[in-house]
Copies of this chain bind each other. A is one copy, B any other.
């Protein structure tokens, strides 16, 4: 089952880490730590093998892949020896990267994206392609009437004014090209009624949103812990300090707002009420690719006794995200092969802000995922 992975944001930290990592797995230069599809309950012949994966993608920047990989190695995100050992594999992927198309109308841009995707699929004789958005986070968008139905949307795309944010245009074009789509960011992606309609029409599945890599992952086990012990969380406040590319972008207040909302959602879901407090994101260039998050949880127990818990998470977002991206590519491709279309609501395990109304507790999300994976085995 030859499977293409097409990154939107292919020269960014997450995509390059995933690209190098997949090449390392194929070459048996690394083990699959961090890839949950290699855990026994999920491992399955229904998933494409590491050797089945072919990489390509779009980006607006032009930094050569190997330069980015060297920079990640210098920052401690990737082992330098891997980058050196995989130079020819990276050169091969470099040839598959394209500038993100532009055009006078969004309809034209979409056609050009579709053409790039078809060309990629044809040249490599791929059974199917998964498009994965790992580009930087967009600001929260304004609603637009044309988002409501596919017919209205396609009409509006031919106008001179853009009606879709870039992430949604990417989702649109992916589906038109018959590709499944994964939104690993908090951006809009496929979350518009018109695009849901398109996914059903084209018979393609999609997944999202916003990969759960750090602070929110911890929240998704701690919040249920307090709930299961019938302890009352009175406040939950956090500060995320990060300095990589995504950090700089999140310094933009609009993008920050999108991300922050996504971060607190798990609390209301898991606890059944919204505790006081907010989760802030600050950009500190010096901190680089390793993010530090600090959270303070105050809670009350029996007879109102006030207690507290703090945690500090010091993680490398790219190293946490990249294996999940590969997992999502394998699972989404297999779901596509199994005939699934529309939103893959069973993949909440991977996301801060999952599609559908699934559970927010990690253990319950895991149970759903195991059932989902078993279903793919047929």
Contacts from A to B (Cβ < 8 Å): 17, 20-21, 24, 30, 32-36, 38-39, 76-79, 82, 217-218, 221-222, 224-225, 228-232, 234-235, 237, 239, 241, 275-278, 280, 282, 284-287, 290, 292, 294, 296, 298, 300-305, 307-316, 319-320, 322-323, 349, 361-364, 366
Contacts and interface: CB of A to CB of B under 8 A. Distances in A.
Copy number in the complex reads: 4
Contacts of A316: 301, 305, 307
Contacts of A319: 301-303, 305, 307
A364 B349 CA distance: 16
Contacts of A298: 284, 286-287
B20 A303 contact: yes
Contacts of A239: 237, 239, 280, 294
Contacts of A278: 282
Given A77-B305, A308-B314, 10 more contacts: A17-B302, A21-B303, A76-B76, A78-B303, A237-B239, A237-B241, A301-B316, A302-B323, A307-B316, A311-B312
A38 B230 contact: yes
A349 B39 CA distance: 25
Contacts of A286: 234-235, 275-276, 298
B310 A32 contact: no
A257 to B, nearest CB: 15
A231 B213 CA distance: 12
A347 to B, nearest CB: 14
A35 B366 CA distance: 26
B309 A36 contact: no
Given A221-B225, A230-B323, A82 B312 contact: no
Nearest to A364: B363
B235 A309 contact: no
B35 A228 contact: no
Given A307-B314, A312-B310, A282 B282 contact: no
B284 A282 contact: no
B296 A296 contact: no
